[in-house]
């Protein structure tokens, strides 16, 4: 790697997040986008990335050559679609390049594939690239461990009407962290309740997805005890937040060895 800006290959470049990363990169002296990849069918395929993102030209066109893009970059950022993952992982491993993956809606097999690839390249997966969510997850872990049983956990999330997967990857990440922190809680995750649901068992985590409008992303973890209720909330103000988080993760990964990392590692939490 040279002493200049860190070169980024951006996958899903023509999408909402891809364009936001392009804008954040335009504003950062530490990185430059060296390649932009998307599907030929994507709206914006073949266009100049900076123009597409509403900033000055970045000297990169949105193309389809994944392996070539990765070879020309120091780090890759994937914010595309689960269907792209297999090809992205194969290309990152073949090119020997670190990968930040923020694509959500992955299934078990795809998560296992991420972990396998992390045996060969530095790989950071974050269902939510915002530093605030990493801090919220750490706070939730501490709260659950300190409060012990007797506090019911419900997680409520809201996102814009165009989001494809539910519940959000972040809500599942929060539920997973809480499960780990409450060692005795082999909790079942319940999505919504209706009809004669019966009394709420203690070993249950409710995860509820609201969808509507242009909401960027909101998560609240509610710990309800018999006599008190704690709520830990995070509200994303704009998707630029995730874009700057993606660049922060990429800069961290550029100096890391092979392994499976999270935003906690990038933030030194």
Q: Which SS3 state, helix, strand or coil, does residue 55 take?
A: coil
Residue pair 202/154 in contact by the 8 Å Cβ criterion: no
Residue numbers at the binding site for ligand NAD (CB under 6 A): 11-12, 14-18, 37-39, 42, 79-81, 83-84, 102-105, 126-129, 242
Please, what is the minimum distance in Å from the beta carbon of residue 227 to ligand NAD?
A: 36
Structure tokens given for 203: 């070993």
Residue pair 171/192 in contact by the 8 Å Cβ criterion: no
Residues in contact with 148: Cβ distance below 8 Å, sequence separation at least 6, in sequence order: 182
List the catalytic residues: 159, 163
Long-range contacts of 82-86 (CB under 8 A, 24+ apart): 82/106, 82/107, 82/110, 84/11, 84/12, 85/110, 85/113, 85/114, 86/110, 86/113
Residues in contact with 90: Cβ distance below 8 Å, sequence separation at least 6, in sequence order: none
Nearest to residue 249, comparing CAs of 111, 98, 133?
98
Q: Which is nearer to ligand NAD, 87 or 259 (CB)?
A: 87
Q: Which is nearer to ligand NAD, 129 or 181 (CB)?
A: 129
Please, what is the minimum distance in Å from the beta carbon of residue 226 to ligand NAD?
A: 35
Q: Which is nearer to ligand NAD, 22 or 31 (CB)?
A: 22
Please, what is the minimum distance in Å from the beta carbon of residue 59 to ligand NAD?
A: 20
Please, what is the minimum distance in Å from the beta carbon of residue 120 to ligand NAD?
A: 21
Query: Nearest-CB residue to ligand NAD?
Result: 15
Q: Which helix (H) or strand (E) holds 21?
A: helix 16-26
Q: Which is nearer to ligand NAD, 14 or 205 (CB)?
A: 14
Please, what is the minimum distance in Å from the beta carbon of residue 113 to ligand NAD?
A: 15
Q: Which is nearer to ligand NAD, 14 or 156 (CB)?
A: 14
Structure tokens given for 253: 């990964």
């Amino acid at each position: 790697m040279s002493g200049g800006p860190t070169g980024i290959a951006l996958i899903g470049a023509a999408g909402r997040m891809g364009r936001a990363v392009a804008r954040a990169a335009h504003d950062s002296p530490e990185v430059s986008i060296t390649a932009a990849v998307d599907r030929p069918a994507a709206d914006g395929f073949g266009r100049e990335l900076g123009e597409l993102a509403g900033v000055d030209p970045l000297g990169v066109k949105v193309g389809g050559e994944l392996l070539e893009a990765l070879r020309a970059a120091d780090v890759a950022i994937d914010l595309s679609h689960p269907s792209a993952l297999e090809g992205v992982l194969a290309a990152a491993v073949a090119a020997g390049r670190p990968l930040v993956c923020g694509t959500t809606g992955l299934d078990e097999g795809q998560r296992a594939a991420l972990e396998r690839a992390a045996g060969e390249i530095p790989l950071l997966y974050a269902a939510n690239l915002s530093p605030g969510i990493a801090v919220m997850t750490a706070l939730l872990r501490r709260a659950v461990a300190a409060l012990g049983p007797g506090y019911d956990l419900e997680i409520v999330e809201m996102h814009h009407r165009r989001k494809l997967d539910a519940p959000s990857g972040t809500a599942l990440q929060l539920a997973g962290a809480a499960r780990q922190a409450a060692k005795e809680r082999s909790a079942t995750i319940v999505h919504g309740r209706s009809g004669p649901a019966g009394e709420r068992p203690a070993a249950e985590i409710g995860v509820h997805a609201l969808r509507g409008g242009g909401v960027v992303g909101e998560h609240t973890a509610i710990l309800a005890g018999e006599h008190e209720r704690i709520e830990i909330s995070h509200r994303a103000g704009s998707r630029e937040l995730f874009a700057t988080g993606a660049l922060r993760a990429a800069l961290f990964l550029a100096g890391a060895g092979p392994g499976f990392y999270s935003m906690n590692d990038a933030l030194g939490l």
